[in-house]
């Protein structure tokens, strides 16, 4: 019993820090409408700043600490406020892509500079233990838990009582209205970002001694934070803090339980996702409304006529056919690139055509790869059958996660898929269901086409087929429905379309192609391995695809070349290491440019209704609270005075009567 209690205490101490980080996340999400996937990366930046100053440069501990948690966050906060302004009014997809790009850039920059393996983070708090209620508790843990709790409580009071807190709440409701009242939404949002970044930085520095200085691990703090935020329905700050505690305790207890089991060892890191998943499943639609208005980007004019595009496509295929005679020893690189054309085609269909973000694409490809090995080698099925079945196996995996999230909104789909990717990576990749403990499985090629060159042509055929399929879907009824859905799903449902079916359908098609790509990847490498399919691979793929999106339907090919072929010809290790950073920054830049284009269009449209009021009144997105407010305001106004509207109406009535 005492044993359990000590795990609970450990859980509360880490949970308190998670809660603090999560409050920062929820605050910035609510005030800016941007869910900051880079929240954990900010925590990592602060921890590395302390490490750099204290350990590397030898500055005194208090100075290094002060710089890391006092000076660094405002700088990042300013950047985030700029990003927020750049993204104002853009679609949820654009916002997700932007902060995912930022997360990738920050994390990969840390990895590129400090290396991917964890560094020792010197403890800066006393490490003695004291006995509390019969349990030994580390003083450092006590201090960090208290700091986090004090921060959370102080902020809660600030939010409730202080004028700035009230303004923050007002910004959440209507930034335009607040501006009219003489308060700049910019200042308020800047404060929110500042507090959010402070919370992230403090959590990062407090957690680093416990989990070690590992950029990838620290960045995943955002996952703990969003699990906690889900408990608070992405809106209530006290509940969010409680959610942090809950996740801390659950993770600590899970650690105790799984210490006896090999299979479940990945469970603790995946817990936040399970909590999020439970909330998504159980919460009603009204509970989880997305913050912020948006308008869609204008349709991009085609780069060239359809005939010209066909000519270019045929030429590209001709070049691809000639590759085996030109590439020499680099042929396997091109073979892999062809597999990635398929991967990016499926991602393109999902992200660009349907406007849904999947952050688990690497996991779906991994499912296809491992399933192929089990089917082709394990069960001895014919090669082609195994490939198609591998695609089919990926479908239910993707759809199972998509279904609860899809009925909510794009953000929750992105969160759920990111969680799925992590869950699969941490828990399932190592199980015998997928790659097993060694992480590698055998894979075969078709007996008649097993040579490198012959198999290259098999892959070319698959890539061409996949591209044609994607193009056909874009022009089909589904394509039309998807484009309309990106503008207004509510309207489509009032016209009779089951929009959730549409979303799941496109998700399923995408997962199927991804699964097939996984099978082909395994077959090309003649072994299925989990190494290339981490959660960060998903983020990198998304970033590079978005970066190439200016090329329209050629984007998947360009992305595959950029991801696979270009690095193969770069011999400079530094450039290769910093490449993901460029992808991330590029995706951020493209997202902001897209948002600006949408903003310009909002100004040009010439419709009398400003986007803000249009979106505010948008029926599907109007929450019960907003409705209530509107009804109350209207009623109140009318009780007080026969307002202008009423006089106008009265006049109309008399005019009608006099006819």
Partner 1 sequence: MSGGEGSFAVSDGEGSVVEGRGEGSFAEGRGEEGAVKSHGETSTTANHGEASTTKSHGGAPGLRVQGLTIRFGGNTAVDSVAFEAPLGRITGLIGPNGAGKTTTFNACSGLLRPSEGEIHLFGEDITGRPPSARAQAGLGRTFQQMDLFDSLTVEQNLALGLEARLARSNPLRQLLCPPAERKAVRQATEEVLEVCGLGDLRRAVAGSLSTGQRRLVDLGRVLAGGFSMLLLDEPSSGLDTAETERFGAIVTQVVAERGCGVLLVEHDMALVMSVCDFLYVLDFGQMIFEGTPADVRASETVRAAYLGSEAA
Contact between 646 and partner 1 per CB under 8 A: yes
Smallest separation (angstroms) from partner 1 to the CB of 519: 23
Contact between 499 and partner 1 per CB under 8 A: yes
Contact between 608 and partner 1 per CB under 8 A: yes
From CA 49, how far away is CA 197, in angstroms rounded? Answer: 14
Contact between 603 and partner 1 per CB under 8 A: no
Nearer to partner 1, 499 or 548 (CB): 499
Nearer to partner 1, 311 or 647 (CB): 647
From CA 417, how far away is CA 514, in angstroms rounded? Answer: 14
Listed ranges 14-22, 55-63, 143-151, 639-647: which one lies at the site for partner 1 (CB under 8 A): 639-647
Contact between 628 and partner 1 per CB under 8 A: yes
Q: Give CA angle at 362 (356, 365), nearest 5°.
A: 105
Smallest separation (angstroms) from partner 1 to the CB of 288: 16
Q: Which one of 70, 150, 257, 501 is in contact with partner 1 (CB under 8 A)?
A: 501
Nearer to partner 1, 388 or 399 (CB): 399
Nearer to partner 1, 287 or 601 (CB): 601
From CA 129, how far away is CA 137, in angstroms rounded? Answer: 5
Contact between 505 and partner 1 per CB under 8 A: yes
Contact between 306 and partner 1 per CB under 8 A: no
C-beta separation of 518 from 397 below 8 A:
no
From CA 253, how far away is CA 270, in angstroms rounded? Answer: 13
Phi and psi, residue 527, nearest 5°:
-160, 145
Phi and psi, residue 407, nearest 5°:
-70, -15
Nearer to partner 1, 396 or 624 (CB): 624
Sign of CA pseudo-dihedral 404, 406, 408, 411: positive
Tell me the angle at which helices 410-423 and 92-114 cross, rounded to the nearest 10 degrees. 30
Nearer to partner 1, 264 or 615 (CB): 615
% helix / strand / coil in the chain, to the nearest 5? 80, 0, 20
Sign of CA pseudo-dihedral 485, 489, 492, 497: positive
Contact between 283 and partner 1 per CB under 8 A: no
Smallest separation (angstroms) from partner 1 to the CB of 625: 8
Q: Which one of 58, 307, 477, 574 is in contact with partner 1 (CB under 8 A)?
A: 477
Provide Rg for the chain, Cα atoms: 26
Contact between 638 and partner 1 per CB under 8 A: yes
Nearer to partner 1, 328 or 496 (CB): 496
**Who's near 396: CB < 8 A, 6+ residues apart?**
none
From CA 288, how far away is CA 623, in angstroms rounded? Answer: 9
* Tokens representing residue 36 in the block: 């900051």
Q: Which one of 257, 303, 487, 551 is in contact with partner 1 (CB under 8 A)?
A: 487
Q: Which one of 59, 79, 119, 605 is in contact with partner 1 (CB under 8 A)?
A: 605
Q: Per-residue DSSP letters for 194-249?
A: HHHHHHHHHHHHHHHHHH-B-HHHHHTHHHHHHHHHHHTTTT-HHHHHHHHHHHHH
Does an H or E element contain 137, and which? strand 135-138
- Polymer length in residues for the chain: 659
Smallest separation (angstroms) from partner 1 to the CB of 475: 10
C-beta separation of 394 from 371 below 8 A:
yes
Listed ranges 346-354, 367-375, 490-498, 518-526: which one lies at the site for partner 1 (CB under 8 A): 490-498
Residues 573-602 that bind partner 1 (CB under 8 A): 601
Listed ranges 133-141, 201-209, 518-526, 617-625: which one lies at the site for partner 1 (CB under 8 A): 617-625
Q: Where are the alpha helices (DSSP H) in 357-476?
A: 361-373, 383-406, 410-423, 452-475
Question: Pattern 415-454, binding to partner 1, x per CB under 8 A?
Answer: ----------------------------------------
Contact between 609 and partner 1 per CB under 8 A: yes
Listed ranges 383-391, 429-437, 498-506, 578-586: which one lies at the site for partner 1 (CB under 8 A): 498-506
Smallest separation (angstroms) from partner 1 to the CB of 497: 4
Q: Which one of 67, 471, 481, 568 is in contact with partner 1 (CB under 8 A)?
A: 481
Q: Which one of 129, 236, 493, 596 is in contact with partner 1 (CB under 8 A)?
A: 493
**Who's near 515: CB < 8 A, 6+ residues apart?**
364, 365, 367, 368, 371, 390, 391, 392, 393, 394, 395
From CA 203, how far away is CA 24, in angstroms rounded? Answer: 10
Contact between 468 and partner 1 per CB under 8 A: no
Size of interface with partner 1, in residues (CB under 8 A): 68
Smallest separation (angstroms) from partner 1 to the CB of 410: 16
Q: Which one of 483, 525, 576, 593 is in contact with partner 1 (CB under 8 A)?
A: 483
- Give the interface with partner 1 as residue ranges (CB under 8 A): 295-299, 473, 476-478, 480-481, 483-484, 486-488, 490-499, 501-502, 504-505, 601, 604-609, 613-614, 617-620, 624, 627-628, 630-635, 637-638, 641-643, 645-647, 649-650, 652-653, 655-657, 659
């Amino acid at each position: 019993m005492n044993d359990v209690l000590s795990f609970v205490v450990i859980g509360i101490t880490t949970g308190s820090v998670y809660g603090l980080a999560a409050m920062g996340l929820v605050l910035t999400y609510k005030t800016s409408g941007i869910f900051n996937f880079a929240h954990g990366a900010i925590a990592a930046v602060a921890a590395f700043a302390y490490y750099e100053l204290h350990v590397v440069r030898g500055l005194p501990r208090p100075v290094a600490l002060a710089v890391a948690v006092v000076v660094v966050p405002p700088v990042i906060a300013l950047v985030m406020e700029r990003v927020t302004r750049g993204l104002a009014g853009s679609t949820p997809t654009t916002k997700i892509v932007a902060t995912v790009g930022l997360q990738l850039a920050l994390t990969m920059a840390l990895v590129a500079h400090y290396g991917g393996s964890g560094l020792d983070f010197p403890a800066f708090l006393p490490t003695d233990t004291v006995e509390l209620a019969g349990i030994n508790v580390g003083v450092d843990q006590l201090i960090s838990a208290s700091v986090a709790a004090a921060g959370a409580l102080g902020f809660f009071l600030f939010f409730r009582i202080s004028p700035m807190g009230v303004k923050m709440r007002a910004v959440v409701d209507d930034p335009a209205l607040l501006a009219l009242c003489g308060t700049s939404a910019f200042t308020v949002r800047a404060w929110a970002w500042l507090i959010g970044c402070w919370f992230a930085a403090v959590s990062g520095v407090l957690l680093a001694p416990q989990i070690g200085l590992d950029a990838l691990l620290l960045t995943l703090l955002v996952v703990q934070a969003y699990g906690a935020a889900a408990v608070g329905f992405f809106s209530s700050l006290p509940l969010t803090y409680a959610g942090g505690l809950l996740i801390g305790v659950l993770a600590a207890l899970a650690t105790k339980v799984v210490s006896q089991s090999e299979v479940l060892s990945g469970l603790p890191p995946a817990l936040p996702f399970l909590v999020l998943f439970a909330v998504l499943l159980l919460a009603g639609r009204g509970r989880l409304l997305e913050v912020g208005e948006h308008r869609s980007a204008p349709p991009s004019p085609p780069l060239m006529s359809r005939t010209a595009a066909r000519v270019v496509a045929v030429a590209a295929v001709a070049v691809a056919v000639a590759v085996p005679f030109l590439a020499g020893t680099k042929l396997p690189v091109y073979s892999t690139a062809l597999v990635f054309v398929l991967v990016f085609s499926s991602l393109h269909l999902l992200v660009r055509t349907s406007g849904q973000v999947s952050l688990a694409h690497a996991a779906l490809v991994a499912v296809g790869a491992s399933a192929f090995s089990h089917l082709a080698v394990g069960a001895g099925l014919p090669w082609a059958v195994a490939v198609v079945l591998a695609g089919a196996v990926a479908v239910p995996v993707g759809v199972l996660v998509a279904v609860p999230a899809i009925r909510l909104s794009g953000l929750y789909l992105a969160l759920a898929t990111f969680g799925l990717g992590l869950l699969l990576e941490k828990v399932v990749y190592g199980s015998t269901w997928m790659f097993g403990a060694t992480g590698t499985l055998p894979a075969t090629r078709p007996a008649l086409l097993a040579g490198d060159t012959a198999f290259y042509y098999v892959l070319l055929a698959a890539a061409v087929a996949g591209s044609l399929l994607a193009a056909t879907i874009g022009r089909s009824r589904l394509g039309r429905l998807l484009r309309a859905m990106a503008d207004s799903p509510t309207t489509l449902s009032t016209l009779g379309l089951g929009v959730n079916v549409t979303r799941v359908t496109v998700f399923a098609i995408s997962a199927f192609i991804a699964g097939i790509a996984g099978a082909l990847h395994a077959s090309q490498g003649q072994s299925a391995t989990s190494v290339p399919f981490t959660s960060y691979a998903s983020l990198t793929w998304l970033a590079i695809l978005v970066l190439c999106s200016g090329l329209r339907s050629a984007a998947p090919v360009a992305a595959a070349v950029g991801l696979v072929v270009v690095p193969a010809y770069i011999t400079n290790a530094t450039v290769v290491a910093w490449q993901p950073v460029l992808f991330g920054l590029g995706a951020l830049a493209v997202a902001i440019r897209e948002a600006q284009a949408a903003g310009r269009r909002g100004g040009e449209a010439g419709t009398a209704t400003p986007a803000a009021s249009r979106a505010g009144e948008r029926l599907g997105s109007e929450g019960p609270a907003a409705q209530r407010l509107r009804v109350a305001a209207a009623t109140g106004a009318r009780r007080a005075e026969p307002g202008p509207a009423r006089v106008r109406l009265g006049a109309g009535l008399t005019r009608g009567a006099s006819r």
